[in-house]
Amino acid sequence: MRRRTVLAIGVPAALAMVRGAWAHHGWSGFDQQRPLYLEGKAAKVAWRNPHAELTLERAGDLRLPADLAQRALPAQSAPVEGPALLAAARLPTRTDKLWTVELAPLTRLEAWKMAPIAVGTPLAVLGFAAPGEKGEPVLRAEYVWVAGQVYGLRSSPA
DSSP 75-137: -BSS---HHHHHHH-B--SS--SEEEEE---HHHHHHTTPPPPPTT-EEEEEEE-SGGG-SS-
Q: Is 74 exposed, middle or buried (0-12, 13-18, 19+ CB in 10 A)?
A: middle
pLDDT at 41: 98
Nearest CA to 138 among 98, 99, 96?
99
Fold of 26-152: OB fold (Dihydrolipoamide Acetyltransferase, E2P) (2.40.50)
pTM of the model: 0.81
Residues in the chain predicted with pLDDT less than 50, given as ranges, are 5-8, 10-25
pLDDT at 135: 81
pLDDT at 3: 54
Give the count of beta carbons closer than 10 Å to the beta carbon of residue 82: 21
Nearest CA to 89 among 72, 73, 65?
65
pLDDT at 13: 44
The answer to whether 37 touches 90, Cβ cutoff 8 Å, is yes
